[in-house]
């Protein structure tokens, strides 16, 4: 057996979580199935049964998030909770690749889903290289984050400056979940690079290719905000998904979310021959260009790409002017993408919406 069959072990969160009384109904429910079953700190804390908690803050044993990450022994197979005191933690941090599961859970202080406004990991870095620019990097498997904001505060640069990549989070481990988190950056905000990932009730903001990479990911109830950026003449795209072959399991699924903002963008840009992105049951505001999708910067065939909309609503969902190679599925046709089975979520998520 390659890996012990345990839940992930690293919960990154905030300090009041352990002390707040678990709310009975939530703590008892096996899975958070409905929108009113809010995934909160006590629920996650109970589910992962961590034996160790590390606290990060200016007056705590661990002054930086990185020092808490570094305190975890190689080969750790048990859940560890890392509570972040509320405030801005100003440094980049990275979960290294680890031979066995890392299993961390970060939580912000309040533990009630409000923390994304109060607790952030913030770093200013722009580069021509996405990975190098990241404020937060997860290369380890089994990491859960609850209620933390990730911000790359790089300033908008000059037109045609190649150093415009400013990733807020790069997610390259397997079985990584974010609940009630937020991702801020002017550009290339969320590098969803590789592995199975789950984002529930997260806020993601950006302009060009701001959710990108080759991850196999589900975004449940996301709030996607398009920010104007006058540095480039082209219209940006929310997604640029990197699925390179038919047997590659990757793809981005957006469910029951809301897309709005300032200016105009495409839902996605073709970035590889088998790019796969689905927006389902999502409200699309006028910020979506009527063509819907673009192939700018891509010279290959669009024959095999799967860029699709399913049962979306709002003025941005009008099909009349969509590019002919985009797809429109019925809920039935798309059903295999519309549950956490798409990321084998029932096997590893401590809580999920559907």
Ligand X SMILES: *[C@@H]1O[C@H](CO)[C@@H](O)[C@H](O)[C@H]1NC(C)=O
Residue number with CB closer to ligand X (223 or 281): 281
- The string of DSSP codes covering 315-331 is GGG--TT--TTSEEE-T
Residue number with CB closer to ligand X (23 or 313): 313
Q: Is 29 in the site for ligand X (CB under 6 A)?
A: no
Distance of alpha carbon 185 from alpha carbon 254, whole angstroms: 20
Residue 283 CB, shortest distance to ligand X, in Å, is 7
Q: Which of residues 75-134 bind ligand X (CB under 6 A)?
A: none
Q: Indicate the helix (H) or strand (E) that contains 45.
A: helix 41-48
Residue number with CB closer to ligand X (285 or 311): 311
Q: Is 156 in the site for ligand X (CB under 6 A)?
A: no
- The string of DSSP codes covering 65-129 is HHHHHHTSPTT--S-EEEEEPSEEEES-EEEPP-SS---EEEEESS-SS-GGGTEEEEE---BSS
Residue 182 CB, shortest distance to ligand X, in Å, is 23
Which of 161, 245, 331, 347 is the binder for ligand X (CB under 6 A)? 331
Picking from 243, 242, 284, the residue whose alpha carbon sits closest to that of residue 266 is: 284
Q: Indicate the helix (H) or strand (E) that contains 190.
A: strand 190-192
Residue 280 CB, shortest distance to ligand X, in Å, is 8
Site size with ligand X, rule: CB under 6 A: 4
Distance of alpha carbon 240 from alpha carbon 192, whole angstroms: 10
Scanning the structure block, which residue is given the tokens 């990911």? 217
Distance of alpha carbon 109 from alpha carbon 127, whole angstroms: 31
Residue number with CB closer to ligand X (200 or 309): 309
Of 174, 192, 209, 229, the catalytic one is 209
Q: Which of residues 259-298 bind ligand X (CB under 6 A)?
A: 281
Distance of alpha carbon 352 from alpha carbon 45, whole angstroms: 14
Residue number with CB closer to ligand X (182 or 280): 280
Q: Give the number of other Cβ atoms within 10 Å of residue 25's Cβ.
A: 9
Let me know: does 168 contact 135? Beta carbons within 8 Å: yes
Let me know: does 109 contact 60? Beta carbons within 8 Å: no
Residue number with CB closer to ligand X (207 or 282): 282
Residue 310 CB, shortest distance to ligand X, in Å, is 8
Q: Is 311 in the site for ligand X (CB under 6 A)?
A: yes
Residue 242 falls in the annotated catalytic set: no
Which of 301, 313, 335, 344 is the binder for ligand X (CB under 6 A)? 313
Residue 281 CB, shortest distance to ligand X, in Å, is 4
Which residues would be at the binding site for ligand X (CB under 6 A)? 281, 311, 313, 331
Residues annotated as part of the active site? 209
């Amino acid at each position: 057996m390659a890996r012990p069959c345990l839940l992930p072990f690293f919960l990154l969160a905030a300090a009041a979580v352990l002390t707040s009384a678990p709310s009975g109904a939530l703590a008892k429910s096996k899975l958070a199935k409905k929108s009113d079953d809010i995934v909160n700190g006590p629920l996650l804390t109970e589910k992962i049964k961590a034996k160790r908690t590390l606290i990060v803050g200016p007056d705590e044993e661990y002054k930086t998030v990185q020092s808490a990450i570094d305190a975890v022994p190689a080969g750790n197979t048990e859940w560890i909770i890392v509570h972040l005191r509320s405030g801005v933690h100003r440094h980049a941090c990275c979960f290294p690749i680890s031979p066995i599961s890392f299993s961390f859970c970060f939580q912000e202080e309040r533990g009630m889903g409000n923390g994304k406004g109060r607790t952030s990991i913030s770093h200013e870095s722009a580069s021509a290289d996405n990975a190098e620019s990241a404020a937060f990097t997860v290369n380890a498997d089994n990491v859960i984050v609850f209620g933390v904001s990730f911000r790359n505060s790089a300033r908008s640069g000059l037109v045609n400056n190649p150093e415009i990549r400013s990733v807020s989070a790069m997610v390259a481990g397997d079985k990584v979940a974010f609940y009630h988190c937020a991702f801020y950056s002017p550009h290339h905000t969320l590098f969803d690079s590789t592995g199975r990932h789950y984002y529930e009730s997260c806020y993601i903001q950006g302009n060009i290719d701001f959710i990108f990479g080759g991850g196999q990911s589900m975004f449940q109830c996301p709030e996607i905000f398009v920010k104007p950026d006058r540095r480039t003449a082209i219209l940006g795209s929310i997604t640029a998904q990197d699925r390179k072959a038919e047997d590659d399991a990757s793809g981005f699924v957006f469910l029951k979310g809301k897309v709005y903002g300032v200016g105009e963008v495409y839902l996605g840009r073709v970035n590889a021959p088998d790019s796969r992105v689905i927006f389902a049951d999502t409200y699309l505001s006028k910020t979506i260009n009527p063509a819907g999708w673009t192939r700018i910067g891509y010279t290959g065939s669009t024959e095999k790409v799967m860029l699709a909309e399913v049962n979306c609503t709002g003025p941005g969902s009008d099909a009349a002017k969509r590019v002919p190679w985009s797809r429109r599925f019925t809920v039935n046709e798309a059903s295999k993408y519309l549950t956490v089975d798409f990321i084998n979520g029932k096997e590893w998520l401590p809580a999920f919406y559907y």
